[in-house]
Amino acid sequence: MRKDIVTGEMAPKKELVRVVRDKENNVAVDPTGKMSGRGAYISLDVAIAKKAKKARTFDKAFEMKVDDSFYDDLIEYVDHQQARRELFENGN
């Protein structure tokens, strides 16, 4: 179980995506969950990803200015993963 930093709710790791800040202060989505660096989790939900962008959640979590393009990439990634999950869950 991990905590979603936007909602504060606990969820299984597979329902979240890890975002990591490395030593060079690069912020990226960590789909494997194994990249080295400071990590924070967010639910695989587009509405929550958009809320994170609006509130600049990762700026606060990583105590640095995170580029807007990262938030856009995060929303796109979460949207893709959410669509994949719905497709495969409905296909079974």
pLDDT tier, 92 (very low <50, low <70, confident <90, very high otherwise): low
**pLDDT at position 88, please?**
86
Q: How many domains does the chain have?
A: 1
Domain holding 55, by residue range, is 2-91
State how far the alpha carbon of 26 is from the alpha carbons of 23, 47, 51, 66, 83, in Å: 7, 24, 21, 9, 27
> Where residue 63 sits, what CATH number does that domain have?
3.30.1230.10
Tell me the pTM: 0.90
The pLDDT of 17-29, averaged and rounded, is 96
